[in-house]
Structures are given as C-alpha cells and as structure tokens.
Structure 1
Amino acid sequence: MVRNKKELEIILEKTPKFKSPSKKLEQYKCDSSIASELLWNAYIYGDIKDRIIADFGCGTGILSYGALILGAKEVLCIDIDYNALSIAKKFLGNIPINFPIHYICCDIRKISLRSIDTVIMNPPFGVYIRGIDMKFLEQAFEMSPLSVYSIHKYNPKSHKLITKLANKKGYATQIIAIKNMAIHATYKNHIKNVHRFKISIYRFVSEGLNNG
C-alpha cells in the first residue's frame, strides 16, 4: 500500500514515455509530481479506492497506473492513439493487481459511457486543436460521474469558462492545487531541455452528490 504522496510520485516515475509523441495530440509524459498530486487528492476525497475510474486520454498510462495501485475497482484506459494505448497495455499488464483494466481506442468526443464513478485526465491544453481541453471536460460531464479530476493551464480567464461549463452541467468547481509543471524536450522544435509553466488541478463534484 502506498503510504504518502511522495511515495506515489516515485512509483509513477516508472511509467514509460511515448515512443513517437504526436505534436498534434500534444503527447508528453505527464510530470509525476503533478500526476501524484491529482491522484493523491482524489484518493483522500474517496474518489479512487473501490471506484470505477475512466482515464480520458490515458497516454502511456500514468494516471491509470496510480489509480490501480491506490485501489480502484476497475479502470478504463481511453485514448485515440493505438500506439500509446499499446504501451499502456504492455506496462499495466505487468502490474500484479487483479482488478479489471479495459483498453478503449477511440476519440473521447465520440464515446458514451455510464456507471463511471470518477473521471481522471490530463487533457491536451489546446495548443494545436483550439478548445480541445474544454471538449474533454464537457465529455467527462456527459458521463455523469460522481467526480472529475483534470489538469489545465493556469489562466484566470479560462477558469471562468471552466467554472461556467461545470455549473451548466451540474458540477461544483474546486481548484485543489496550482503548481509548476515541467515538460522535458519532446519535439524537434523544443529549444529548452525543460519547459515549465503553471497549471491548475481541478476537482469537479456532482451537485446532486453535494445536495445528497
């Protein structure tokens, strides 16, 4: 059993990188300190253990990995990139955990799921496909989960749009952390070895649950 957030962060560093990261899909290995922050908060709030988890845009599986070792009952790894999903499947398949893991290759914008307790995701920031981060959020709310955890670039203007969308879909918005994310040089046009920028980690909770 993982005892604390730092231990979780160290474990998550084992997650493999993308073999041929797509710039259009904004693929990069999520900073393990950011992933552990999201997952540990979700665990403390009771949104991971014994829950059915959907990982939107799972990539090579860092959030799914964390959810599994924190006691998720079932995990759905969803990504549009078959190659990334294959890496995740190979990696997660070696974990000695007997809970079901499902791998779904599809466009998040076209999927329909029910009976999901928690959605976790590190969506594209919308650098190459404008507004894609909001599409991910909107689709997460459409699944009617109890809670959603998501990473977004820190931006007061974007925060207003995110909160407005959440309210419209019946979810209360909470920023659980504001941190600096580090992305190591991934594409040929990356000049810096490490690019750092501020992100917000969000928790959204169904208003129906709050009104309980």
Structure 2
Amino acid sequence: MSTRSQLTQQLGVVAGFDNPRVDLEQYRTPPELASYLVHVADLQDDIEDQRVIDLGCGTGMLALAATLRGPRQVVGVDIDGGALRTAQQNRQRIAARSSVSWVQADATQIPLAADGEPTVVMNPPFGAQDGNEHADRAFLETTADLAGVSYSIHNAGSAEFVESFADDNGGEVTHAYSAEFDLPATFEHHTEDSQTIEVELFRIEW
C-alpha cells in the first residue's frame, strides 16, 4: 500500500481540463488534496474492498486516487463527456488496477442504484459563480440518498451548513479537517497566476 506522499506523486500525472467550464467551476483537484482525502478515508476503512463513487469526478482525480487503495469498484460520474474522456486517459497514465467505470450524467440526479452503502468522495462546486450559489447542497442531497459514508471538500466556513444539512438528512459529521486548495489561474476573471484558498473536508456517516 502506497504512503500518502507516494500517492501524491502517483497522482501528479493526472491531467486537468482541456476546456474548463466556468459554469461548472471546473478546476483540477490538486494531487496533494486528493491524496489527503483518500488517505484519511483509507485510515477509516472506507476505501479498501468498498464500492466508491466520485460525484462530479471531472478528469478523475479523486476516483483514480481511490483506485490505488484497493477498492472493490470505483465509479466516476460527471456531466461533461470531454472531462470523462480525459479521465479515461488518466486511468491509463496511472495504470490503475482496480475496476473503474465512468458514467456521463448529472451528479445531482445520479442514475445509479445504491449497491449496499457505498463511499462517496467529491469535490463539488463551491457555488462561487452567479446562479450557482449553494451548488454543493445538491451534491449533498444526492449523497444523502446514496452513501453509507461520504468525504467532501467545501469552502472554508462551511461547517455550520454541512453539519446542519447532515443533521436534517439523517447524517452525522464525524470528522472535519482543514486543508488548502492551490488554485491556478484558469478563467479570464482570475487576475493572479495562482491562489491558495482554505477549504474544509468532512466525513459524514449517513
């Protein structure tokens, strides 16, 4: 089993979006953050021999990180077919051994039947764009219906919202972690070459 630092190195080859869409807030999840999330999930026995679903998987960073920790199956769901094609190429880049499937669909209206109680991992939109406020709520609603346990990345300051949502939907936040998200200039409205933002990771039992 690879260490967290080794996992970060393995994920370094995962390519981001060729044509990122601002309305979907498409950013490549940093390998350091992905390895952190999956390492924590693995320590809680939520990855190995489990079914893992990555909602809004983009080019596959979290899904592929999970494949390197011995899951029974991994499914990545994203609405963007171009991103999923890159995800498939990324799978070949990291030589994932575990089974991984890609499903093109709206992650907030997922066309998957719950098989047992899968682990959901996700880096949902933060809702930073006009008309996209509270976008992470829709992802959490899907997760509440689907998952046995979930790991999700949210903007810093989201603890009250996430805990309240979990309480109202039969879940419980069991762990919360602070982390950093290195955000390179991606869209025209970005004025700096890169920016580091504070984020929070939550483990929720549903």
Fold shared by both chains (TM-score > 0.5): yes
**TM (normalized to structure 1)?**
0.90
Alpha-carbon deviation of 1:16? 0.5
Return 5+ residue gaps in structure 2 as ranges.
none
Tell me if 1:135 matches 2:132: no
8 Å CA contact retained: 1:53, 1:120: yes
Distance 1:147 1:12 in 2: 23
8 Å CA contact retained: 2:67, 2:96: yes
Tell me if 1:150 matches 2:152: yes
Cα 1:162–1:139 change in 2 (3 A) is same
Tell me if 1:165 matches 2:165: yes
How many pairs were matched up?
202
Distance 1:177 1:159 in 2: 10
- Secondary structure class of the residue paired with 1:24: helix
Distance 1:199 1:98 in 2: 30
Tell me the alpha carbon deviations over residues 19-40 of structure 1, each in whole angstroms, 9 at most, x when there is no partner: 0011110001111111111100
| Percent sequence identity over aligned pairs | 29
Q: What letter matches 2:118 in structure 1?
A: D
- Secondary structure class of the residue paired with 2:23: coil
Return 5+ residue gaps in structure 1 as ranges.
207-212
Match of 1:20 in 2: 19
Cα 1:176–1:11 change in 2 (3 A) is farther
**TM (normalized to structure 2)?**
0.93
Alpha-carbon deviation of 1:170? 1.6
Tell me the alpha carbon deviations over residues 98-133 of structure 1, each in whole angstroms, 9 at most, x when there is no partner: 432211111112114301420000000011211111
Match of 2:123 in 1: 122
8 Å CA contact retained: 2:50, 2:118: yes
8 Å CA contact retained: 2:123, 2:153: yes
Superposition CA RMSD, Å: 1.4
Distance 2:182 2:98 in 1: 31
Moved more, 105-114 or 177-186: 105-114
Alpha-carbon deviation of 1:140? 0.7
Tell me the alpha carbon deviations over residues 160-210 of structure 1, each in whole angstroms, 9 at most, x when there is no partner: 22111111222110343202211111112211111111100100013xxxx
Cα 1:97–1:180 change in 2 (3 A) is closer
Q: What letter matches 1:186 in structure 2?
A: T
